[in-house]
Amino acid sequence: MRVRRKKRTKRLIVLLSLLLLGIVGFRNILPNLGDVFQYHHVASGEYGWNLILVNRDNYIPDDYTVELTELSNGQKVDSRIYPSLQEMFDAARAEGLGLFVADGYRTAETQQQILEGKIEAYKNEGYSSEEAEKKAKEWVAVPGTSEHQLGLAVDINADKSQSTSEEVYEWLSKNAYKYGFIQRYPENKTDITHTIYEPWHYRYVGNDAAFEIFSQNICLEEYIETLE
């Protein structure tokens, strides 16, 4: 009887030891589970391709595809917005403005490179890794959350030999809606868009939506809410 009891005791000790090791091991990997299982809300296209809402809370669908048209300077945009973009540029140039698309479609890889470059720049300024990443994300979207990956957004700069940035930005702010484009990140909507003011960043939403957004002085997030 004593031999059996000793064996049972040893087995119980072994089982308890294994259980304890398992708990400790699980606790060690627990903080990293969030990195393994990342669940993101996927942007919906229920209101049409031109109104897909992509931001830090709405990721681009994994199966999203886009047909691109290359501009004269090598930048690319969604082929569906090219005619409207060309019409807008023709109108601006007819009024003596010089402007060009400085940045159009980006791949996720390019977006990641831009983010990493911004982080490194802040590190070189003396910020810690954590601080540098936080500040960089105020300027650069995390891959999967950038409108540039949709092909529907363009950064428009001035040709300084013909116009100032202020002249181009002012013209766009007053006229872009006529061609289906909106200033995506207005100065008075940063608390909603969670993105700094970008007077150069324009997004195609279509003529009807652009007119409503412009006339009501709202941003895309607010406009989508009116549709829900």
Active site residues: 198
Instruction: Look up residue 98 and give its two tokens.
Output: 């010089």
CB atoms within 10 A of CB 68: 14
Sign of CA dihedral 197, 160, 112, 204: positive
The separation between CA 53 and the C-alpha centre of its own chain, rounded to angstroms, equals 10
C-alpha–C-alpha distance, residues 216 and 198, integer Å: 19
C-alpha–C-alpha distance, residues 223 and 212, integer Å: 8
C-alpha–C-alpha distance, residues 151 and 157, integer Å: 17
Q: What angle is formed at CA 222 by the lines to CA 218 and CA 225, rounded to 5 degrees? A: 145
Task: Count CA atoms closer than 13 A to 102's CA, side-chain side.
Answer: 12
